[in-house]
Amino acid sequence: MGSTADKVSGKANALAGKAKQSVGKATGSHETQAKGAVQEAKGDAR
């Protein structure tokens, strides 16, 4: 089981990824959406 700091870092990464995806959708940037999805997945994996 991970430490509390890892969990917090993971949640922050997941939230940042979701935000990137939203910005990508709003601006029509598929690249930003994809980067957000990857970042969110990394955060969820922690």
SS3 per-residue string spanning the chain: CCCHHHHHHHHHHHHHHHHHHHHHHHHCCHHHHHHHHHHHHHHHHC
Does residue 36 carry a pLDDT above 90? yes
| Tokens coding 8 | 């917090």
Band (pLDDT 50/70/90 cuts) for residue 4 is very high
The pLDDT score that the predictor gives to residue 1 is 54
* Domain range list for the chain: 4-45
The pLDDT score that the predictor gives to residue 46 is 79
pTM of structure: 0.83
Percent with pLDDT over 70 in the chain: 98
Q: Which amino acid is at 25?
A: K
The stretch 11-22 carries a mean pLDDT of 97
The pLDDT score that the predictor gives to residue 33 is 98
